[in-house]
Chains A and B, each alone.
Chain A
Amino acid sequence: MNRRRYVTQGIATIFIWTGALLTIAVMLLILFQILKEGLPVLRLSFFLESPKEMGREGGIFSTLIGTATLTLVAIVVGAPLGVGTAVFLREYTRESKMSRMIRFGTDCLAGVPSIIFGLFGFVFFVIKLNLGWSILSGGLTLAAMILPTIISTAEESIKAIPYSYREVSYSLGGTKWQTVTRVVLPSALPGIFTGILLSVGRSIGETAAVILTAGSSLVMPTSLFSPIRTMSVHFYILAREGISMKMAYGTGAALILFVLMINMMAQWAINRYIRRRT
């Protein structure tokens, strides 16, 4: 009877190790394959040239610009809204029906799939507000998508700041807003920045919502109203249409590298600034 328990323990251990290693192996396999085929393509010219012949030749420059501007618009709109919400929830109210409602709304928003955001962005920004397929339409849609992330990371960082900081400010005669802007926010900045970094990572990888709102034009944008193609959209199109496997791998490798870099930076920042406090 005793032995059976240990046999079970042994079998379970094998299963667990196999499961974990299998997961890691598959993830590494996919990444390795794309990087293996794609890294050789990543020369400086690849990043500085725009796609030619529908992507058969040239590089990914216009998509880099597209991705960057889209993300920028998303952050410029989303960050103030997100941080403002977090400040309100943490500094200006207590737990109440209203704050619970706001949190529920944020949680729900976090669960909305990207294709629905795409549909919404299409009908609201592209058609109703007549912004057309543009950086603006795509950026505003993305802002809505990253809002929950920014709100929760901002809230966490604000929460982590000891009350004593605020006490000092109030005792010196500071108003609430002064306390927020001069004491709380500056201290919470690293955490907020991390949330923004994570959102950037998410925006770069977003495809469904972007195709429906920002279009897929390969030409360099001239204004916020120009349609653009982001890297992930470019990769999607190249991979599906078999236009050029070499370019697809290259774009994919670039995508992976950017996303990995951003997320590693965010991880490092979380470890350094948020964990340290608790």
Chain B
Amino acid sequence: MQLQEKIIEKVLLLIAFSSIIILTLITFFIFEEGIPLILNVGLKAFLLGEKWIPSKGFFGIFPMIASSFWVTFGSLLLGIPLGLACTIFLSEFIPPFIATLFRPAIQLLAAIPSVIYGFGGLIFLVPLIRNHLGGPGLSILAGSLVLGFMTLPTIITISEDALKALPPSYKAGALALGATHWQTIWRVLIPAARSGIVASVILGMGRAMGETMAMIMILGNAVRMPVSFLDSARTLTTNIGIEMGYASGDHRQALFATGIVLFFIIMALNTLAIFLSKRRAS
């Protein structure tokens, strides 16, 4: 009996390490495929090169890095105000029982597949941008708008948690001192929940940076450095997504190398977010 229990415990220990094992495997294989190319081409030439022409051996991904950040920051321009507005709306502006109706709706928003969002952007947003603002419509602007919506659930859920975790005395105290509702929210509650809100934004950034399918559909995938919001662009993710099916040899390795860069950026963002929310909890 004792032996059986010991064995079970060891087996469970092994199972518990499965996520770490998988993470290690992922890191190992992505690196195994991608590092040779980075060494070949040179890290600086890879990260800072502005030309991506695999058929001629040019593997510079700087335009992709720039576009990834550009689209993500653009999405935050929409996501933060709207996300904060919805969070405040949910926690302060409507009675709790209506809020319990809205919250599942936010979860549903998060569950909708990204290809549906991409499709929506393609049908509505792209022609709108092209006809009224110029450019081909398939643009960073379209990507930012759609991504902004896709990151809303992340920002809203985590920010709301942060607000709910505040001691009720904060709000009660501010109101007792004569502050208006809005003053209480804006000058007391939000600043107090600051690190949770920032963590939610960074997590949202991580999600935005990792989005692929919707971006392939509406960004246009041009390979050049973008100069305006109306330009077509290609992110790190769409670079992989759009050429992976066709690539072989050096080209394929370059796409894995792109994956390495993407992996680093997102890991950094997520670790930062985890760190921030742990600090808040303590």
Asked if A and B touch directly (CB within 8 angstroms), the answer is yes
Of A116, A205, A212, which contacts B114 at CB under 8 A? A205
CB contact list, B33-62 vs A, under 8 A: 33
CB–CB B119/A239 < 8 A = yes
Check if A276 is an interface residue, CB within 8 A of chain B: no
CB–CB B113/A205 < 8 A = yes
CB–CB A256/B112 < 8 A = yes
On whether A256 and B116 interact (CB within 8 A), knowing A9-B183, A175-B5, the answer reads yes
Check if B201 is an interface residue, CB within 8 A of chain A: no
Bound CA–CA A12/B181 (angstroms): 10
The distance from the CB of B152 to the nearest CB of chain A, in whole angstroms, is: 6
CB–CB B89/A81 < 8 A = no
On whether A264 and B86 interact (CB within 8 A), knowing A147-B18, A177-B8, A259-B113, the answer reads no
Check if B166 is an interface residue, CB within 8 A of chain A: no
Closest A residue to B263 by CB, please name it.
Answer: A116
Of B81, B93, B108, B122, which contacts A264 at CB under 8 A? B108
On whether A112 and B266 interact (CB within 8 A), knowing A23-B152, A207-B115, the answer reads yes
Within 8 Å CB of B108, what residues of A?
Answer: 260, 263-264
Within 8 Å CB of B16, what residues of A?
Answer: 84-85, 88-89, 102
Closest B residue to A259 by CB, please name it.
Answer: B111
CB–CB B15/A5 < 8 A = no
Bound CA–CA A84/B213 (angstroms): 32
CB–CB B30/A151 < 8 A = no
CB–CB A109/B183 < 8 A = no
CB contact list, B202-250 vs A, under 8 A: 203, 206, 209-213, 217, 237, 240-241, 244-245
On whether A9 and B180 interact (CB within 8 A), knowing A30-B120, A116-B262, the answer reads yes
Bound CA–CA A249/B33 (angstroms): 38
CB–CB A252/B119 < 8 A = yes
Check if A108 is an interface residue, CB within 8 A of chain B: yes
Within 8 Å CB of A112, what residues of B?
Answer: 23, 26, 210, 263, 266
Query: B1-36: contact bitstring with A at CB < 8 Å (1 yes, 0 no)?
Result: 100110011011101111110110110011011000
Within 8 Å CB of A116, what residues of B?
Answer: 26, 30, 210, 259, 262-263
CB–CB A102/B152 < 8 A = no
Within 8 Å CB of A161, what residues of B?
Answer: none
The distance from the CB of B260 to the nearest CB of chain A, in whole angstroms, is: 9
The distance from the CB of B181 to the nearest CB of chain A, in whole angstroms, is: 6
Bound CA–CA A267/B109 (angstroms): 13
The distance from the CB of B72 to the nearest CB of chain A, in whole angstroms, is: 12
Bound CA–CA A24/B133 (angstroms): 25
On whether A113 and B23 interact (CB within 8 A), knowing A85-B15, A88-B16, A89-B16, the answer reads no
Of A92, A144, A236, which contacts B115 at CB under 8 A? A236
CB–CB A204/B22 < 8 A = no
Of B33, B203, B213, which contacts A208 at CB under 8 A? B213
Which of B19, B23, B84, B108: most chain A Cβ within 10 A?
B19
Within 8 Å CB of B182, what residues of A?
Answer: 8-9, 12-13
What would be 27 A-B contacts, judged by CB atoms less than 8 Å apart?
A5-B183, A8-B180, A15-B85, A16-B89, A16-B93, A17-B89, A17-B93, A23-B149, A30-B116, A30-B117, A33-B124, A111-B203, A111-B267, A113-B209, A113-B262, A115-B259, A119-B256, A123-B33, A147-B19, A204-B113, A205-B116, A208-B212, A211-B245, A212-B244, A232-B113, A259-B113, A263-B108
